[in-house]
Structure 1
Amino acid sequence: MSDKINKVVLAFSGGLDTSVILKWLQQTYGCEVITFTADLGQGEELEPARAKAELMGVKPEHIFIDDLREEFVGDYVFPMMRANALYEGLYLLGTSIARPLIAKRQIEIARKLGADAVSHGATGKGNDQVRFELGYYALQPDIKVIAPWREWDLTSRTALIAFAEQHQIPVPKDKRGESPFSTDANMLHTSSEGKVLEDPWEEVPDYVYSRTVNPEDAPDAPEFITIDFERGDGVAINGVGMSPATLLETLNDYGRKHGIGRLDLVENRFVGMKSRGMYETPGGTIYHLAHRGIEQITLDRGAAHLKDELAPRYAELIYNGFWFSPEREMLQAAIDYSQTKVTGTVRLKLYKGGVYVVGRKSPNTLYSEKVVTFEDDAGAYDQRDAAGFIKLNALRLRLLGRRDA
C-alpha cells in the first residue's frame, strides 16, 4: 500500500466480519492491530472477543474492552432524549447515537498508543461508515481511516467465510451460509435489516424480534410505573433513584415484558437509498413518552413549540453523523437551557405494546387548575379579555375579506 501504516485501532466485535478485517489488515498493511470492543449494554458476553483477538496475534496490552454503558446513556442518550429527537418522525436513533462514542474512544486509544490509523467494519452502502468517519475526522483531522468494505474484493458472506477458513479464523456455526438478517444492538435498541426484511411488503417474521415479547402475548393486566425527572433527565423509577444506565435497563425490562417499542420502518439513508429496518427500543420508547409528558406541564408554549421545530433538524444531524458538529452543539445548548425547569414525576400505563401518560406533576408546573377550570374561577381569568384578543388577531383577516369580497 502507498501509505505506510504501523498501528491501526480496529472497532472489533469478535464476529465474522471484524475477525476477517483483523486478519486482512495484518496481511494487507503489514501493521500491528489494536482492537477496541465497546460494552454499550448490548447484552452479549464480550470476553470471547478478547480470546479471538489473542488467537489472531493481538498483544494482550493492545486489546481494549471498555464498559461505556454509563457514559453512553448519560452523555449521549439522555442529551438526545432531552431534544425529543425522532428521525423521520419515528426512529429513536438507537444505532446512530452509539457511533460517536465508539469513534471518540477509538481516537483516544489511537492517541494513547501512537496509532497511525483507525478502522471499522461498516459497509460502503450504509450510514455507519459516515458516522464513524465524521467522528474520527472531527476529533483527529489528520487520522488515516481504513474502511475494508470499500477496498477489498470480499463481496459476500460466502467469501468472508472462505477467507476465514483459509486463515484458520473460527467461524460461529450460526454464521455458516446466508444469515437471514443482520443485527446491531446496544442498551438503547436492537436493529435488524437485510435478507428476510428486504421486501417492505412482507411482515417482519416473529423470530426477528429479540428484545420484546409479542404484544398479543403480553400480560392481560396493565402495569403502572412512575419516572422522576430532574432538569430533563430521568433520575428514578417508582421513587427509587438510579444511574442513567440502570434506569434505562430497568425500563428495558418493563418494555420487554409488555411488548413495547417495536418499529417497522422504511427510512431514507444519508447515502441516498431507502432501506427497511426493524427496530426494538423498549425502554427508550417509554422514556421518550414520559419526557414529553413532564414537558407538557413545565415548558412554556413558545419554548415547547420551538423545541418541536428544532427536533427534526437535531435528529437529522445525529442520523447523518454530525454529533461533533458546531450546529449540533448549538442546538444542544438551546435544548439544555429549555430543560432547567423540567423537573417532576410522570405516571405511565404499560399495556400490550402501548405506553400511555396517565399523570404528571411538578413543583415547576405551569398548569393552573384555577385558571383553566369550567367552574367559578374567582376572577382568575376575565373572559371578556378574549374579545379584544380575537379582534386584534382577526384584523388582517377582516382587511383581506373586505378587499376580496
Structure 2
Amino acid sequence: MKEKVVLAYSGGLDTTAIIPWLKENFDYEVICVCVDCGQEEELDGLEERAKACGASKLYIENVIDEFCDEYVVPCVQANAVYENKYLLGTSMARPLIAKKLVEIARKEGATAICHGATGKGNDQIRFELGIKALAPDIRIIAAWRNDKWTMDSRESEIEYCKAHGIHLPFSADSSYSRDRNIWHISHEGLELENPANEPNYEHLLVLGVTPEKAPEEGEYVTMTFEKGVPVSVNGKAMKVSDIIRTLNEMGGRHGIGIIDIVENRVVGMKSRGVYETPGGTILMEAHQQLEELILDRDTYALKKEMGSRFASLVYEGKWFTPLRLAEQAFIEETQKYVTGEVKFRLYKGNIIKAGTTSPYSLYNESIASFTTGDLYDHHDAEGFINLFGLSCKVRAMKMQEQGENLF
C-alpha cells in the first residue's frame, strides 16, 4: 500500500503541478485538502480538477465561521495591524489551514503534508510552524524548496502539466498573484513588483471601487458590540461572518479599505502588495472607537503596544505558541466591558465618526466639560502640575546654579 501525502490544495497552477510531481517523485497517494475560508468562486470545479490531475480524493473543509470567530475576532479585539497598515488577512487564515491539514492527515493516516508556498514568502513559515506545533511527527514537503522540484516559472509549470496530460486554463502571463478569503483579498505581481508604478486599480480591484468612483452620498452605519465581539449591523443581529459579509458590501461600495504597502517579510526582503479589506477596515475602526471610550488610560496604552506585538506574532506564523495564548488572555481581559453602539458614516474611502455610546463609558461630561463640574476643581491642577513637573524644575535649578544652558 502506498504512503499518503496530504496536499494543501487551492486549485491554482502551483498546486495543480504538484499533484503529478508528488506521484512521480515520491510515489505517494495524493489527498488534496482545500480549506474554505471564504474564497467564493475560486472553489468552483476543484474536485474535478484535482482528480483529473491524479489526486485520489479532495476534501473541501468549510471553516468560515471558525475562521471568523476564533481567528478574526481575537485579532480585531487586539486591534492587530502589521506595520500600521496590513490587517493580516492572509496571516490569520494560515494557522487554521495548517490545523485542518493535520486533522485530515491524522484521519487518512498520511505520513506527510505538502504545501506549494514559495521559498521567498511568509506562508511557508506559517504553514510549517503550525504543522510542527500540532504534528511534529509528520513530514513536511515544501515543493518549491525540494531538490526534485525543477520548475522555476509559470511557463515551466504549464509545460510540466501538459507533458503529464493535464490541460488546464492557466496562462503564463495571466494576472496578479492573489489570496482571498472572507476578510480580504491581496494582490501581488505585474506592475506592483516595481514600487515606482501606480497600481492599475481599473483592473486590480475585486471587492470594491476607488474612492473617486464611490457614491456622492455617504451612508450611515450603526454597529453594536458585546464584550468586544460585533453582534449587529443597523439593528440586525448577525453572526460574525455575516457581519463581515455585510460590511464588505458596504465598504466596497464606498471605496473603504484599499491599501498599497511595501511590507517587511519574515524572511528579510521587502514586498509590495495591494490589499482590499473593506469590511475588516470598518470593523477594526468601529471597535477602536468603542475602546477609546471605555478603556482607562494605562490599559489603553499597554493594549496598543500589545496589539502591535500580537500583529507581529500572527504575521510570523506563531499562532500555536504559549506567547499567543498569553497575549490573547490579556486582550480578552480588556474586552469584558467593551460593549456599546458605534455610529459612523462611510464616504469616499473615509469612516467618519457619528456618535459612540456605552453603558461602561468612562467619559464624564461633568468632568470633561469646560464649565466647572462637581467632580473637578480647576485649582486642583496647580498642585498636580507642581508635583508632576518637580523633577524638571529641580534639574533646571541645578543647571542654572552651574551656569549651564539646558537646551
8 Å contact from structure 1 (residues 83, 335) kept in 2: yes
Which residue among 359, 366, 380 is the counterpart of 2:375?
380
Alignment of structure 1 residues 4-403 onto 2, 5 Å? 6-59=3-56, 62-151=57-146, 152-172=149-169, 175-206=170-201, 207-377=203-373, 379-403=374-398
1:102-139 C-alpha deviation (Å, 9 max, x unpaired): 00000011111111011111000000000000000011
Contact 1:260 1:353 in 2 (8 A): yes
Give distance in 2, aligned partners of 1:179 and 1:389: 66
Q: Which amino acid aligns with 1:252?
A: N
SS at structure 1 position matched to 2:279: helix
Deviations 1:34-76 (A, max 9, x none): 11111111222524111112223433xx421011110111100
Kept in 2, the 8 Å contact 1:5–1:117? The answer is: no
Quick check: 1:264–1:278 contact (8 Å CA) kept in 2? yes
Which residue identity does 1:313 align to in structure 2? R
Shift of 1:170: 3.0
Confirm or deny: 8 A CA contact 1:85 1:315 kept in the other structure.
yes
| Partner Cα distance (1:114, 1:184) in 2 | 29
SS of alignment partner, residue 98 of structure 2: helix
Which AA in structure 1 matches 2:371? E
Structure 2, unpaired ranges of 5+: 401-407
Q: Is the 8 A contact 1:39 1:69 kept in 2?
A: yes
Structure 1 unaligned segments of length 5 or more: list them.
none
The alpha carbon displacement at 1:180 in A equals: 3.8
Could you tell me the TM-score, scaled by structure 1's length? 0.96
- Following TM superposition, by how much is the alpha carbon of 1:258 offset from its aligned partner in structure 2, in angstroms? 0.5
Q: Which residue of 1 aligns with 2:404?
A: none
1:131 and 1:250 map into 2 onto residues whose CA distance is: 29
Which 4+ runs in 1 deviate beyond 6 A? none
Separation in 1 of the partners of 2:120 and 2:350? Answer: 34
* Structural RMSD (CA): 1.3
Looking at structure 2, the residues matched to 43 and 313 of structure 1 have their Cα atoms a distance apart, in angstroms, of 31
Shift of 1:375: 2.6
Identity among equivalent pairs (%) = 47
In the TM superposition, residue 374 of structure 1 has moved relative to its aligned partner by 1.6
Aligned length: 397
Question: Which deviates more, 179-188 or 330-339?
Answer: 179-188
- Give the whole-Å Cα distance in 2 for the aligned partners of 1:64 and 1:159: 28
